[in-house]
Structure 1
């Protein structure tokens, strides 16, 4: 009996050694917990979409690990980016959704607090490109871009950081198109910025639809004036408003994170097998009918998903193609007080 038991033990150990890395990774997730971070405080669009991913992703991962949602806000996603880049273990059990422009563009703007290279993260994918819309509060009296161009007073626009699109895009338009925007920077996230709009502290915001509560739209509290991509019917696209070549390049740079969408990422150097499993699981999730139904119900972007490898390649191409002049001017906006 002892000899037989020894033979069985050797056979079992040999079988484990002969398992492919992918098979071992599939077994690896059984009984484990994945910690999934959002790079913004609770309550905003990034936090809410992270929690939707936490709700659905597990069922598409072999072994169905638990997924624990957490928040690590700070500097428009930069704090979480630093953590994932240098401190998190690259074992497939720590993932994040840091954000869009603040996270992606901070290193380009030479932000000394951003201690990472976005090209080195392990990109899992995103559900769709994110369409940012310029919303005006009803108290502003604005109903169209023509009204905006004719406005003779300053319009306070809510911003949430030095590197975020909701701060910099309106400032670019103010510089080049002479729109009467005064961006109020410093709100600690999109949710507080939207709250300022609701309270009347500010009268406009440049944000994704998911960050604006449906009742704010339905009640007429806010009106959309223009959008980044041609996704909303009968709404002007920002590209048609631009009159300067440099302005177009700057807006194109700021639109890059929106085109990527709100991506799911892991630390650099994750094992190939875990990366493959998580990329495939995320891809199946964002194409799942139940996920898409819930995403639409919450006003999240649903469209053509972006896979992780394509995102990494696109980022490398964009970053390598930036001119020093565009980078310098982008930095001038980031460094404004």
Structure 2
């Protein structure tokens, strides 16, 4: 009976499976791209290919900044032109020396500039000095030939003077010396005493730089002299006037004649009659000719006249020098002075000058500058008044 009940219970139970379902661990299938179905005649489109991501760019270090190599500074004078200015007409000593200096100086300036020569005549150097001080630039590019007698023009405040020589920068002296007054061999006189005693006037050519010397002979010594004005001061111009009989005499540095007309000197056509200096030795070039000086005629002059005559001649000691603009920078002044000195002491320069019978007696610029200032400062009111009379001021 129990057996029957067990079977009955089994038959009447729920048929649902109560065993736990196994866990699904299978990997789902990967989706596969199914190409689209193409219509007849349709061209398949290219399948897009995945672009890989752009890799991160690594920063490249900048190269170091190059060190700038400085370009050597161009020499100040390179590519420039220096103008050498003569204050007197061609043919005389000033013009000759200006041209000679223009040949030599550039080689001693850093950069070797070019050189040209100009002529600016008028009023015994006043015109050219006015140009230098008031019109040229203070850059060292204008070098002026100066006569020492221009000092007298400043002392008497001559018409047209627009400069102060104490401020002008001087490069140096080529030569200097006393004036000598000479006569033409056909003038009828051959000594200063004969000029004093002459019954007829002896005609001397006069210019701003020479007029004072003629007036010493005429007004202080009593020479029978007539001044013929209108000359520039050039020895070459005077030579023509003497040959043509316009004048009988001329005052200048003796080397003006030995340089311009050595044949006249050798043949005795030009005769020196006096030297306007109180130095008994006088000009070395005249040492063998026994030419008198102011000392030999001191008795014909008052003390004031004698002192004035000596002062008037003072500028001749620095007769032929060269200057530049007053405001030229010191370093440029120094370079020009050095180049000047190397030029005038160059044996070839000296030889070239001596070939024309023009000796070179140089002085450095600072020494010439000191002499210039000394002459200007030592001129007393009495002497200045005397100079005004001599120069007709």
For residue 256 of structure 1, the aligned residue among 299, 308, 314 is 314
For residue 175 of structure 2, the aligned residue among 128, 150, 163 is 128
Q: What secondary structure does 1:183 align onto?
A: strand
2:147 aligns with: 99
2:380 aligns with: 323
For residue 189 of structure 2, the aligned residue among 142, 148, 163 is 142
Alpha-carbon distance between aligned partners in 2 of 1:321 and 1:131, rounded to the nearest angstrom: 19
Measured at CA, do residues 70 and 189 of structure 1 come closer, stay the same or move farther in structure 2, by a change above 3 Å? Answer: same
Question: How many angstroms does 1:139 deviate by?
Answer: 1.1
Superposition TM-score, scaled by structure 2 size: 0.75
Question: How many angstroms does 1:64 deviate by?
Answer: 2.1
Measured at CA, do residues 211 and 4 of structure 1 come closer, stay the same or move farther in structure 2, by a change above 3 Å? Answer: farther
- Contact kept? 1:157, 1:183, Cα under 8 Å: yes
For residue 45 of structure 1, the aligned residue among 78, 81, 93 is 93
2:298 aligns with: 242
User: Structure 2 matches for 1:1-337, cutoff 5 A?
Assistant: 6-9=66-69, 12=70, 16=73, 27-101=75-149, 103-161=150-208, 164=209, 166-190=210-234, 191-212=236-257, 213-228=261-276, 229-231=282-284, 232-233=286-287, 234-243=290-299, 244=301, 245-303=303-361, 305-335=362-392
Question: How many angstroms does 1:4 deviate by?
Answer: 8.0
Alpha-carbon distance between aligned partners in 2 of 1:302 and 1:72, rounded to the nearest angstrom: 24
RMSD: 2.2
Question: How many angstroms does 1:90 deviate by?
Answer: 0.7
Q: Deviations over 1:133-188 (max 9, x none)?
A: 21111112333334333322210001123xx1x21112122112101111112113
Q: By percentage of residues, which structure has more helix?
A: 1
Alpha-carbon distance between aligned partners in 1 of 2:158 and 2:197, rounded to the nearest angstrom: 36
Alpha-carbon distance between aligned partners in 1 of 2:159 and 2:254, rounded to the nearest angstrom: 31
1:20 aligns with: none
Equivalences, count: 318
Unaligned stretches of 5+ residues in structure 2: 1-61, 277-281
- Contact kept? 2:195, 2:225, Cα under 8 Å: no
Superposition TM-score, scaled by structure 1 size: 0.87
Measured at CA, do residues 273 and 4 of structure 1 come closer, stay the same or move farther in structure 2, by a change above 3 Å? Answer: farther
Alpha-carbon distance between aligned partners in 2 of 1:215 and 1:58, rounded to the nearest angstrom: 33
- Contact kept? 1:130, 1:259, Cα under 8 Å: yes
Alpha-carbon distance between aligned partners in 2 of 1:143 and 1:4, rounded to the nearest angstrom: 89
Q: Deviations over 1:223-272 (max 9, x none)?
A: 12222434221322233323332222222222122101211100001111
After superposing on structure 2, the runs of 4+ consecutive aligned residues of structure 1 that deviate more than 4 Å are 2-6
Question: How many angstroms does 1:5 deviate by?
Answer: 8.5
Rg comparison, structure with higher value: 2
1:21 aligns with: none
Unaligned stretches of 5+ residues in structure 1: 17-23
